[in-house]
């Protein structure tokens, strides 16, 4: 099975029904994508398939027909994506475990809706659970990232 992840092509020998999440983590060694629930209830495993945010725990390897982007492909510590920069500036993270998924979901939202309202943010982000309760800062950081992206 051929898989393109963050622009790199991989040959993966695994079951078609193996979730993309575990292919990323345990076979490709990309640990930024997190396991939280395994049933698409928490969003910690959110990645992009093409440009769409999907739950990688519910995406079978055999169904991956587009390039995959993970948090590692969005930006890196020395080269932050605007959403990541806003996350850092607003000190969004507490434990941080859900934030890869939050950021991938937020970046997908901003790609589709460059200036989201609070209600659009709530709609887009409600599948991403945070038990530390970072939601108020997630809202603020998304607005800040939207403003930044608009500036260019």
Alpha-carbon distances, residue 92 vs 54, 63, 74, 83, 133 (angstroms): 22, 33, 17, 11, 10
Q: Pick the stretch among 1-9, 13-21, 48-56, 107-115 that binds another protein (CB under 8 A).
A: 13-21
- How many Cα atoms are found within 13 Å in the side-chain-facing hemisphere of 124? 27
Contact status: 60 vs another protein (CB under 8 A): no
> Which bin fits 145, alpha (ψ -120 to 50), beta or left (φ > 0)?
alpha
- How many Cα atoms are found within 13 Å in the side-chain-facing hemisphere of 110? 23
Binding mask 22-51 for another protein (x = CB under 8 A): x--xxx-x-xxxxxxxxx-xx-x-------
Q: Is the CB of 35 or the CB of 143 nearer to another protein?
A: 35
- Supply the minimum distance, in Å, between the C-beta of residue 74 and another protein: 8
115: number of Cβ within 10 Å? 11
Q: Pick the stretch among 3-11, 48-56, 79-87, 107-115 that binds another protein (CB under 8 A).
A: 79-87
Q: Which of 31, 151, 33 shows the shortest CA–CA distance to 103?
A: 33
Q: Pick the stretch among 1-9, 15-23, 48-56, 107-115 that binds another protein (CB under 8 A).
A: 15-23
Q: Pick the stretch among 2-10, 19-27, 108-116, 144-152 that binds another protein (CB under 8 A).
A: 19-27
Chain centroid to Cα 127, Å, comes to 12
Under the rule (CB under 8 A), what is the footprint of another protein? Answer: 15, 18-19, 22, 25-27, 29, 31-39, 41-42, 44, 70-72, 75-77, 80, 84, 87-88, 91-100, 103, 121-123, 125-126, 128-139
């Amino acid at each position: 099975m051929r898989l393109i992840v963050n622009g790199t092509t991989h040959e993966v020998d695994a079951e078609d029904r193996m979730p993309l999440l575990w292919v990323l983590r345990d076979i490709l060694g990309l640990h930024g994508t997190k396991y939280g629930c395994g049933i698409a209830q928490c969003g910690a495993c959110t990645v992009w398939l093409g440009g769409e945010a999907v739950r990688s725990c519910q995406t079978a390897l055999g169904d991956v027909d587009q390039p995959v982007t993970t948090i590692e492909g969005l930006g890196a510590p020395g080269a932050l994506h605007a959403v990541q920069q806003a996350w850092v500036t607003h000190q969004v993270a507490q434990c941080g475990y859900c934030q890869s998924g939050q950021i991938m979901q937020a970046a997908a939202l901003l790609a589709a809706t460059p200036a989201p309202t609070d209600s659009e943010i709530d709609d887009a982000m409600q599948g991403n659970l945070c038990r530390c309760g970072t939601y108020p800062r997630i809202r603020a950081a998304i607005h800040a990232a939207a403003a930044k992206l608009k500036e260019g």
